[in-house]
Structure 1
Amino acid sequence: MSGNRDGVFRGRAGERELLSGVLDAGTGVVLVDGAAGTGKTRLLTEFAALAARRGFEVAAAQDELDQPFLLARLAERAPDGPALVVLDDLHLAEPSTLAALRALLSAATHEKVVWLLARRHGEGADRLFAAAAQRGAVRIELRPLPDNVVVDLVADLTGGTPDHDLRALAATAQGNPGALVGLFTALDEDGQVVITGEHASLRTDRAPRRTESLLRDQLSSLSGKAKHLLQVASVLGLRFEPGDVAEMLASSTAILLPSLDEVIGAGVVTSLDDRLAFQHELVWRLVADSVPPPVRRALHREAGEMLLGRGDSAVNAAKHLLHGAQRGDVRSIDGLVAAAKAVLWNAPDAAAELAVRALELTDQASASLVHRTVIAVRALIAAGKLTAAQALAQDALSRQVSPEPAAKLRHCVATTMLLTAQHGESAEISEALLAEPDLLPELAPWVEITRMMALLSHDRRRAEEVAEAVVRNHTGSPDDVLATALAVLAAIARDAGQPAAALELAREAAQSVTSHDLGAYPQLLLATLHSGMREFAEADSVVRRARSGPSAVVTKELMTAVVQARILLQAGRIEEAAAEARCALTVAEETGHTALVAPALAVLAMVAIHTGDLPAAIEHVERYRERVPVDGIIFSRAYYQWADVLVTYVAHGLDKALALLTDEYPGLVTSGLFAEEPRAAGWFIRRAVEAGDERLAKAVVDRVERLAEENPGLRAVAAAALHARGLFDADTSLLELAAQQHRDLWARANAAEDLGVLLTTAADRAASVKALEDALGLYREIGASRDSARVLGRLRKLGRRRRAAPVRPASGWSSLDDTERAIANLVAKGQTNRQISTQLFMSPHTVNFHLRKIFRKLGISSRVELVMRSRDDQ
């Protein structure tokens, strides 16, 4: 930390001007009042030097012991010319000294002498100051510095503009410049201040021992009652209601008012609009740590009981009960359970912590043990802690459990098995539960949904039967069971190559959902279908609806992330797709969501192929190939098979890739792949032509043309059919038309490249070059480096040497692309990652990915710096 440590006179311009006027007059008495550290001594020293420069004779006492001798000398011989007499710390002077000074002041009314007298306010010399004031003495009271001056002084002391946290800590000095200097000296010794650019902030990776000692001294000066009040308040939190403190102390706010005034006046506590708060987290922690742990636990328990007793939210009480509840404390444990249930959907991690803690505190002989076990297992599933949830449920089931909680626990096990890709086991448990005559009515829908989802990946025929029966027999209003059944039928139609029917079923499914969490799959399936048709605006809108609900259940978040990743990939936003998929893969692996690992790997494999990272592509495919059967729920199995064939072709050549079609994936060409991924048709035709396999080429053309004929409203499929027929017939006009009609950049680039290759045999090669250059521009736009390199090679063979793509500057605002600049502008407006994600149709993970790139390019490390840089740029 660096800065001007002599900056204690900031904000004293008025006082200096007043003193200068008295020196101009050459006579008068100035009384300086101020608390310790307000700069009295420095003010006197500065003006003694100023007076000396103006020709004044300066007479000053060294300390209170020297004051009587100075006054005796002045009584014996008055100064010959203009003089300044400086007496500091008169609150320490002996009564005889003060009496002698009063006499001299009375006698020196007409002499050319300026008397500069200072004392610590309220600690002595009251009669002297009152008498001098009555005779017209000038009074100066050194008050606390205002907030804006404190900020300037802190900037002097640190060498940078303080951030909000540093200003909050500075507020504990109550505008006292001496206390500020002491505080920031301690922070400097602790190495707590970090300067980044022009900004100063606190670091949190080391203990501020010297600073804590200084603040502890400040707290020790408070009265016993004030300390007692602070200790109770610290248990209530960084912010607290004075009425809650009063209730905890079996008192009233009116009785506590003197102590409240004391702690506010000392700068330990500040007043907000709706409550009181500790001035800084560091002060709060010091006070909290001063309470012995057993006492702190007891106070937390009393706070939780107080909140529950008056009917407050169980969630508010839970944070205290979590720390203070004891084994067998039924009321407190019930409070934890109630809080866990209240936040289960929107804060599953907190719910899991509360529910597990309640279970730990429950006696094994308690009748509530099984009920609390069910709550804990459900909370663990919602928080994504699948292994712990399954182990806890199976442990409970190994003991004697009554039928109703046993059914709930068995369903929880079926759910964890579904999410860990044990689809057969999940379906078996679900079907057994549904066969039980006494299954709870409120549990049956959940079990039915789990069964249909498990069967979708395990037994398609049975899944279709069950889903059709649900739709056929459903009466009344739409619900989540109907929505899931329709979604299952939509997924089956998708895989059978019936895209229009799949889209209609998925729309109906999405409209039928009634819960934010259970409705995620129908909505996300609809989004994948829109994206497959390259209807990206519609897909983004559906994903945004899925994200907008209050549920933060990990499974929903993960499903949304992998769907969003593939939408981004299909839209040609490769970097964003990779970031989203990597984040989803990490969380899926950490939480044991095995069923969601394969979708993330498939997206990453496709990204790696198009960016030229062949080893990564091979690794991703090999990892998901081991997971048989692969998914089939989020994406179709055909999608994974195509990615496998594509990677095999690049890694091992044409023969091995085509062998997969015969040996492992014989139904791939006749599946619904070309409706889910229209550009795949052109790829298969190219490979068939390359292999001289007319039978394969004709099968692909027939399949995609039949899809276009059966689904006339789907423009993406129609463009794919034109593309395939143009390649098969070597028809340049059809390829040119396909390049115009394809709805995504990637397929358009493929068609333009195919057109350019076909035109190379023409007499005039200009058209070939033009088509290839169009393809190159599109590949570069989406960041497909491997495809760009291939087209550059084709152009070189035609005698055209293109420069590498223009490179953006490595740093500065000009290095930001359009997406990064849009995010930077929204950050500058104070928007959060989640708010930005909603506006730009991307996930918070993707926003964070771009933010890291922005920080790196601009050489900054925080949102605050980004705001400042943005303002400077504007």
Structure 2
Amino acid sequence: MPSASPVTRSPALHGRDAEQDALLRLLDDARTGHGGATLLSGAPGTGKTALLDFAMEHADDFVVLRTRGTEWEARLPCAGLHGLLRPVMDRLPALPPAQASVLAEALELGAADGGLALPAAVLNLLVAVGRPVLVCVDDVHHLDAPSRESLFFTARRLAGESIALLFTADDDAAPCDIPALSLRNLNDEACRRLTDDLAPPGLTEDLRTPLLEIACGNPLAIAELIGSLSPEQLTGAAAPPETLPQGGRLWRAYARRLALLPGDTAHMLLLLAADPDLDMLTLVRATEPECALSVLEPAERAGVIVRIAGDRYEFRERAMRPVVYAGASPARRRAAHRLLAGALEHDHQRLRRAWHRAAALDGSGERLADELAAAAAAASSHGGHPAPFLAFERAAELTAHGDVKAARLAAAANRAWQAGLPQRARSLLTRLHSLTISEEVRGQAELIHGSLELRSGKTGSARDELLAAAEWLLGHDRGQAVRALIRASEASYLAGDNHRFLATAQRAAALRRPDDPAATQLMFEYLAGTAATFRGRHREAADPLRRVVELADSVHSPSVLAWAGAASLLLGDDAQALRLSSRAVETARVQGAVSMLPQVLDFVIQAEVWMGRYGSVTANAIEGLRLAQESGQLNSAAQHLAWLAMTAAVEGDEETCRIRAGSAIELAGAHDLGIAGALSNWAMAHLDLAAGRHADAAKRLRATARIDGTNGHLVVRVIATPHFVEAAVRTGGRKQAEAALRVLDRWVGSTRSPDRLALAARCHALLAAPDDAEDLFRSALDLHHQGFSEFETARTQLLFGSALRRNRRPGAAREHLHSALETFERFGARLWVEQTRTELRGAGEAVRSPRPKAAEKLTAQQFQIARIVAEGATNREVAARLFLSPRTVEHHLRNIFTKLDIRSRVELVRLLS
């Protein structure tokens, strides 16, 4: 009996669940005598061969026959059948003599007369094997015609047979009469999981991001890009790849497809490759009007390009663009750029025109460099070709004068950093080391490097570099020098180092001038107001902080607007803070300042936390975390993880809260981030309070008072005071609670914020004697109703209701407890709901659980996921609704099934109905 062909184990297939299920069904059907055929079609590198491997891996009880079509054997009749059928030719005597003779002659001599005998012999030989048979043919479109026709004949006659035929073909070559599965590029989640499987240790997120952008969801591209990384790229000393590896399998596959196109079509594709923003009008202007469209038709028919909105063409596989460009000679590339430069006539096309003139070397190098640098300086970083950092880099390459060259490299690094490409920025800064540079350029480079360190390195190192940058810049660019100082102060703020923050603010104050521009004035006022606040001089802080807000309307920098939002928070004007920080976010998006988005989103989140908008907090923190990770900004990632821990605490999801807080605290410890550690401790303390663990909450919140930079921070200590007072009162820490409240009172008293005043009044009520507490609670509720935070209003109602119940006034208690319960249920705050229901039962009311009894063991988030799944949603739909990844939903669903002791969604529906 013949044995199967050798089976190779394939790596984990990500994002191909549907295709794997289909192949398993094909095999199962063949086992039961219901044979069939399937064609896997898709672009090169999408995983067709990997799926063949998967099928063979699950066909242990089959005789497996496999071959691959090749262009070199496509003209050899019956070569494909020869490679495929040799392992089972010992079954040839089982065929009718005429068919056996035809098949033997075909395989030995390549003879095929085009009649029925050969295809019938192939089918009967497979049937004669006597066991289930799996036939795998890779690149069936490259098989010779007799082999291909015989196999397609067989594929159409498998009813009642234990045979499965599995073919692969490129999209543009796939036969149409075989049931097909079309493989598309992987989604983001699958790409990331594949990258995790293949990545070497230490692959940073800011290197992973450009790789995935180049790969465009193609699995082979991901594998080849990761395999091509140099040690310098892995350490960040060199820029990441910009194209697929030249000479790799995917590059060669694209090159073969392009070689089949006519020469004039190839020329037109070169123009598209040289300028991805090229529209049809410009293309026609650059070429012969009567032939431009017709010349592109062969490429469109071959699936190389597709027409998109805006009267433009783009490459169907974006990774093909550099293959087209690199395949042309230098002379042809220069000619293409010269044509395009001549066709770009409008002012808004200035940067593109300068880029093409520089690429064509259409003039002296210095003149081209000046033109390109001037156009890049005036350009927005938001999308478009070329990116300004590339234009500055090219201008530097064309520049002979060392200091000007260095200034342009520094400008390129700054624009790369703004665009969210920190590794590219670092590699550009590294090139400055070989140049003699001026103090001004050195200061600019230090400012950029210090900013990179501020977002991804240790805060102490960032502070030192930024202070040095300020000294270098003082005599040349005061605005940039002040910006360096304010970022140095931010490094101290993130670390929780109040002493160094105040020292930096004092250094900045000595530099003030009455004729400073609005943005510089705003920065000075912000530092002065914040420093006074940190000294506890709130009345002194009010005037400069108000001037910050007044000046905000005249500035357009995202970071400066965010500082104005922070000033509003210190003044207690949360609505104004949300307006200004939201404007900062939108400005950053419009300007393409990707690197700024994680920071400005943090200010939006702070305003939303004060206003109790936890749904928006979750959405913004998830976006901020994603952007921070993609751009390698680990310090910002830590803060967003801490905010996500807080929203999980509000929901009562203990597992998620602990995971997120633990990750944030780990990053905080590694990067000297006192604020991220303190925020995480605060989140965990909130969770402890909600679960009734008051001693644990008090202990955690005492940690926020540390001055050693480890999970301690002055600001967090003050804003977490209401939680600390609540925990301390329950655990005998009255004196500590009173001391903390005095600090809060001084700040709150300087604001007009009803939300903050309500929280202070609640704290006083908790510390007051029973006879005085009621009036203080009522005062707190009156203030809450003038503010924004429904959640904190409910927390005050719970505490007031609890106090009334203990004072033997159950009727009055129930009124407040019912209002609190309604709010907590709306927020999905499971632990607070349970506390409130316990109080209601203590007040003499029978309370039913809103969940089926069997589901009470689920966390709040697990119950939410279970309920949505029971409504019929897929994992991806659940993920979209809850701002989670599909992988996280899958993890929670497994835990749900385990806790509920069920195995299927059907059982889940039955349980929750």
Q: TM-score, normalised by structure 1?
A: 0.57
1:380 aligns with 2:416: yes
Pick from 802, 807, 812 the counterpart of residue 757 of structure 1: 802
Out of 469, 491, 496, the position equivalent to 2:530 is 491
Structure 1, unpaired ranges of 5+: 1-181, 195-202, 822-844, 857-874
* Structure 1 residues 752 and 187: alpha-carbon distance in aligned structure 2, compared to 1, 3 A threshold: farther
What is the SS of the residue equivalent to 1:760?
helix
Aligned partner of 2:850 in structure 1 is 804
Gap change, CA 1:850 and 1:340, over 3 Å in 2:
farther
Q: Identify the match of residue 542 of structure 1 among 569, 572, 580.
A: 580
Contact 1:308 1:335 in 2 (8 A): no
- Structure 1 SS opposite 2:530: helix
Q: Which residue of 1 aligns with 2:78?
A: none
Structure 2 equivalent of residue 449 of structure 1? 483
Residue 690 (structure 1) aligned with residue 735 (structure 2) = no
Q: 2:560 aligns with which of 494, 519, 527?
A: 519
Change beyond 3 A, Cα 1:206–1:719? closer
| 1:869 alignment partner in structure 2 | none
Distance 1:225 1:814 in 2: 56
TM-superposed CA distance for 1:794, in Å, is 3.1
Per the alignment, do residues 244 and 750 of structure 1 end up closer, same or farther by CA in structure 2, a change over 3 Å counting? closer
CA distance in 2, matches of 1:234, 1:666: 57
CA contact (8 A) 2:410 2:441 kept: yes
Relative to 1, partners in 2 of residues 1:282 and 1:555: Cα closer, same or farther, differing over 3 Å? closer
Instruction: Report the AA paired with residue 479 of structure 2.
Output: P
Could you tell me which residue of structure 1 aligns to residue 3 of structure 2?
none
Q: Is the 8 A contact 1:738 1:751 kept in 2?
A: yes
The answer as to whether partners of 2:466 and 2:485 remain within 8 angstroms in 1 is yes
The residue identity in structure 2 corresponding to 1:738 is A
- Structure 1 residues 622 and 782, CA gap change in structure 2 (3 angstroms): same
Q: 1:569 to 1:850 in 2, by over 3 A?
A: farther
Q: Is the 8 A contact 1:495 1:671 kept in 2?
A: no
Letter in 2 for 1:519: V
The answer as to whether partners of 1:383 and 1:554 remain within 8 angstroms in 2 is yes
Label 1:502 to 1:674 Cα distance change in 2 as closer, same or farther (>3 A).
farther
Matching residue of 1:566: 606
SS at match of 2:849: coil
Pick closer, same or farther for the CA change 1:570–1:698 going to 2, 3 Å: closer
Distance 1:847 1:696 in 2: 42
1:734 is the counterpart of 2:734: no
Q: CA 1:621 to 1:541, structure 2 compared with 1: closer, same or farther past 3 Å?
A: same
Counterpart amino acid of residue 443 in structure 2: A
Residue aligned with 1:775, SS: helix
Q: What is aligned with 1:555?
A: 595
Aligned-partner Cα distance in 2 for 1:204–1:397: 37
Contact 2:781-2:797 at 8 Å conserved across structures: yes
The 1:757/1:716 distance shift into structure 2, 3 A limit, reads same
Contact kept in structure 2, 1:497 and 1:675, CA below 8 Å = no
| 1:764-843 alignment, distance < 5 Å | 764-798=809-843, 800-804=846-850
Would you say the 8 A contact 2:644–2:660 is kept in 1? yes
For 1:283 and 1:625, how far apart are their aligned partners in 2?
A: 39
Deviation at 1:735, TM superposition (A): 1.7
Distance 1:437 1:414, change over 3 A: closer
* Within-5 A mapping of 1:60-209: none
Kept after mapping to 2: 8 A contact 1:238/1:284: no
Give the CA deviation at 1:559: 1.2
| Counterpart check, 1:294 vs 2:329 | yes
Deviation at 1:715, TM superposition (A): 2.1
Superposed CA offset, 1:482-516 (max 9, x none): 21121122323444455666565334224335342
Q: Percent of aligned positions with the same letter in both sequences?
A: 16
Q: What displacement does 1:435 show?
A: 4.9
Counterpart residue type for residue 548 of structure 1: E
Name the CA shift for 1:262/1:329 in 2 (closer, same or farther; >3 Å): same
Contact 1:499 1:675 in 2 (8 A): no
Where 2:420 maps in the other structure, the secondary structure is: coil
Distance 1:408 1:521 in 2: 22
Cα deviation per residue 1:354-399 (whole Å; 9 max; x = unaligned)? 1475279558887753233222221222123335534543552464
Letter in structure 1 aligned against 2:581: V
Q: Which amino acid in structure 2 is aligned with residue 776 of structure 1?
A: L
- Structure 1 residues 264 and 232, CA gap change in structure 2 (3 angstroms): closer
Q: Which runs of structure 2 are paired with 1:77-476 in the superposition (5 Å)? A: 240=279, 245=284, 257=290, 259=291, 292-294=327-329, 297-306=333-342, 313-317=349-353, 320=356, 337-343=373-379, 345-347=381-383, 351=387, 354-355=390-391, 358=394, 361=397, 369-390=405-426, 392-397=428-433, 399-420=435-456, 422-432=458-468, 435=471, 439-440=475-476, 443-456=477-490, 457=492, 459-470=500-511, 473-476=512-515
> Which of residues 620, 623, 626 is equivalent to 2:666?
623
Residue 748 of structure 1 pairs with residue 788 of structure 2? no
Q: CA deviation at 1:302?
A: 2.3
CA deviations over 1:223-261 (Å, ceiling 9, x no partner): x9898778767766685456765656xxxx6xx54x468
- In structure 2, the residue matched to 1:506 is 545
Task: Give the whole-Å Cα distance in 1 for the aligned partners of 2:434 and 2:267.
Answer: 50
Greater mean deviation of Cα atoms: 554-563 or 226-235? 226-235
Distance 1:697 1:777 in 2: 30
Q: Equivalent residue for 2:29?
A: none
Query: Partners in 2 of 1:538 and 1:312 — Cα distance?
Result: 35
The structure having more radius of gyration, on CA atoms, is 1
Q: Contact 2:258–2:324 (CA<8 Å) still a contact in 1?
A: no
Amino acid in the other structure paired with 1:751: T
Q: Specify the code of the residue in structure 2 equivalent to 1:524.
A: G
Report if the CA contact (8 A) 1:464-1:489 is conserved: yes
8 Å contact kept, 2:765–2:774: yes
Whether the 8 Å contact between 1:383 and 1:553 is mirrored in structure 2 is: yes
- Give unpaired runs (5+ residues) of structure 2: 1-171, 185-215, 221-249, 853-862, 891-913
SS at match of 2:387: helix
- State how far apart, in whole Å, the 1-side matches of 2:378 and 2:179 are: 46
Q: CA deviation at 1:190?
A: 7.5
1:587–1:694: structure 2 CA closer, same or farther, 3 Å change rule? same
Rounded Cα–Cα distance in structure 1 between residues aligned with 2:448 and 2:321: 44
Shift of 1:454: 0.8
3-state secondary structure, aligned to 1:718? helix
- Which whole-Å CA distance do the structure 2 matches of 1:276 and 1:660 have between them? 60
CA shift in 2, pair 1:436/1:726, >3 Å: closer
Supply the distance in 2 between the matched residues of 1:240 and 1:671 (Cα, whole angstroms).
Answer: 54
Residue type matched to 2:510 in 1? A
1:561 CA drift (Å) = 1.5
Query: Which residue of structure 2 lines up, in the alignment, with residue 49 of structure 1?
Result: none
CA contact (8 A) 1:420 1:595 kept: yes
776-785 or 293-302, which deviates more: 293-302
SS in 1 for 2:591: coil
Number of positions where the alignment pairs a residue of Structure 1 with one of Structure 2: 619
